[in-house]
Amino acid sequence: RTVEPLEYYRRFLKENCRPDGRELGEFRTTTVNIGKCLWSITTADGSALVKLGNTTVICGVKAELAAPAADSANKGYIVPNVELPSLCAERFRSGPPGEEAQAASQFIADVIENSQMIVKEDLCIANGKLAWVLYCDIICLDYDGNLLDASVFALLAALKNVQLPSVTINEETGLSEVNLKQKNPLIIRKHPVATSFAVFDDTLLIVDPTAEEEDLATGTVTIVTDEEGRLCSVHKPGGSPLTGAKLQDCITRAITRHKEVKKLIDKVIKSITPK
């Protein structure tokens, strides 16, 4: 396995399975913890922990107040930030964020924008004066492949958990008054779910790659779908060329995966909502 990793993998792929026992189209066990329970962040306004096999990603959402930008006076801000600290894998060193972390942050920002899961106008409190800024910090605790899927899932779960206190602007003083007792959940319009594939030898497609498989793969594809079956993002950063038919195959699998993940999220949300 260490001397000839590619040959070792090829032997398994010929039998249509993978070293960890999964089939080519099988996902790893997904677990999610939302909200102020044992695993998540208590100081954040919304948090979620997602485990996709060994890949562990935690997302914390903090809401702050700010003045909206001059050219979009009725829009708030959502600022995602993906961090890959050196504790998650030995190839990440501490220091300024590397290319992978920055590309992942850009990807998450694009997903939020493309899927319109949070409409920025919903974050505005007073036109031109006050709006919410949501800082979404996604931190990888254990990197075993498939970072993008886990991050998108964690972000979605955390945002569903966010409770924003109601803010009113006092007419006389012009200052904002935050009412911590009265909280409203965030309006999430769409639920995007990402599905990642790794391409081997230009032909074989495997779903949910581990870190080892990602290193050996010749390319990766990530498809983000929402509940209506619309594509929010098709992300294929280079790698071996794929025909349109193969891409279509990925998309159909992504749509199936979306339904499973949505069911899981709904189940978890229902279990933590106080009756």
Give me the residues that bind another protein (CB under 8 A), please.
99-100, 102-103, 105-107, 109-110, 113-116, 218-219, 221, 226, 229-244, 247-248, 251, 255
Question: What is the C-alpha to C-alpha distance for residues 255 and 24, in angstroms, rounded to an integer?
Answer: 17
CA distances from 45 to 38, 156, 192, 211 (A): 15, 14, 21, 31
Which residue's CB is nearer to another protein, number 40 or number 115? 115
- Residue 164 CB, shortest distance to another protein, in Å, is 25
Which residue's CB is nearer to another protein, number 162 or number 223? 223
Strands 55-66 and 46-52: antiparallel
- Residue 194 CB, shortest distance to another protein, in Å, is 13
The three-class DSSP label of residue 203 is coil
Q: Which residue has the tokens 């999964």?
A: 22
Question: What is the C-alpha to C-alpha distance for residues 98 and 85, in angstroms, rounded to an integer?
Answer: 10
- Residue 180 CB, shortest distance to another protein, in Å, is 33
How many CA atoms, within 13 angstroms, populate the side-chain half-sphere of residue 95? 5
Which residue's CB is nearer to another protein, number 32 or number 206? 206
Which residue's CB is nearer to another protein, number 128 or number 229? 229
Which residue's CB is nearer to another protein, number 56 or number 233? 233
- Residue 250 CB, shortest distance to another protein, in Å, is 10
- Residue 29 CB, shortest distance to another protein, in Å, is 28
Question: What is the C-alpha to C-alpha distance for residues 21 and 7, in angstroms, rounded to an integer?
Answer: 17
Which residue's CB is nearer to another protein, number 102 or number 163? 102
Question: What is the C-alpha to C-alpha distance for residues 24 and 207, in angstroms, rounded to an integer?
Answer: 6
DSSP-derived secondary structure for 20-78? TS-BTTPPPPEEEEESSSTTS-SSSSEEEEEEETTEEEEEEEEEEEEPPPSS-TT--EE
CA distances from 244 to 193, 196, 227, 249 (A): 21, 17, 23, 9
- Residue 15 CB, shortest distance to another protein, in Å, is 27
Which residue's CB is nearer to another protein, number 165 or number 219? 219
Which residue's CB is nearer to another protein, number 130 or number 242? 242
Beta partners for residue 179, in sequence order = 166
- Residue 93 CB, shortest distance to another protein, in Å, is 16
- Residue 251 CB, shortest distance to another protein, in Å, is 6
Question: What is the C-alpha to C-alpha distance for residues 178 and 65, in angstroms, rounded to an integer?
Answer: 10
